[in-house]
Amino acid sequence: MTRAGIGYDLHRLSPDRKLILGGMEIPFDKGPLGHSDGDVLTHAICDALLGAAGLGDIGTHFPDTDPQWKGVSSLVFLREISVRIAARNLTIVHIDAIVVAERPRLGPHFPAMRESLARALSIPPELLNLKAKTHEGTGEIGRGEAIAAHAIATLSDAK
């Protein structure tokens, strides 16, 4: 059996924060506000994986009211989720994700981001596809006030 899960996240951007995406720091003049590192891409992938596994959502597993998650790398969440998925006898077939941001240009950073995310999940980077979109200058994303990501994950029952 194959199961698909969807994930979405959005964070507001602030000048006093680092931009972390896919566990990597991207040079930029703003970064996401958030209890953790505000990594929208990793958060969307976490929720897609949890959804496919029928395990709820990231807020349930790693509540932002819990001080142990303050400022942690979101790759820690991803690694922990991969362990919980494997414990349910499920394997990751594929992940596809879109980062929606007006700036900066993300394409050049995707190869390293894929490596970083795949390492946290203990999967080959080929199973992970990343895409970028602008918001065509409209709304809060288009004005550079926010950054968002969508992800879909496919899992199958381990043989």
Geometric angle at alpha carbon 77, from 103 and 2, rounded to 5°? 95
Phi-psi map region of 137: left, alpha, beta (phi>0 left; psi -120 to 50 alpha):
left
Tell me the C-alpha to C-alpha distance, in Å, between residue 80 and each of 67, 69, 74, 75. Answer: 17, 12, 10, 8
Smallest separation, CB 13 to Mg ion (Å) = 13
Smallest separation, CB 64 to Mg ion (Å) = 8
Which C-beta is closer to Mg ion: that of 34 or that of 53? 34
Which C-beta is closer to Mg ion: that of 9 or that of 102? 9
Binding mask 28-47 for Mg ion (x = CB under 5 A): ---------------x----
Q: Kind and range of the H or E element at 132?
A: strand 128-133
Which C-beta is closer to Mg ion: that of 43 or that of 109? 43
Residue-wise DSSP of 54-111: T---HHHHS-TT-GGGTT--THHHHHHHHHHHHHTTEEEEEEEEEEE-SSS--GGGHH
Which C-beta is closer to Mg ion: that of 51 or that of 90? 51
Is residue 150 a contact residue for Mg ion (CB under 5 A)?
A: no
Q: Of residues 42-101, which lie at the interface with Mg ion (CB under 5 A)?
A: 43
Which C-beta is closer to Mg ion: that of 92 or that of 149? 149
Q: Which of 9, 37, 47, 102 binds Mg ion (CB under 5 A)?
A: 9
Smallest separation, CB 84 to Mg ion (Å) = 18
Q: Which residues contact Mg ion by CB under 5 A?
A: 9, 43
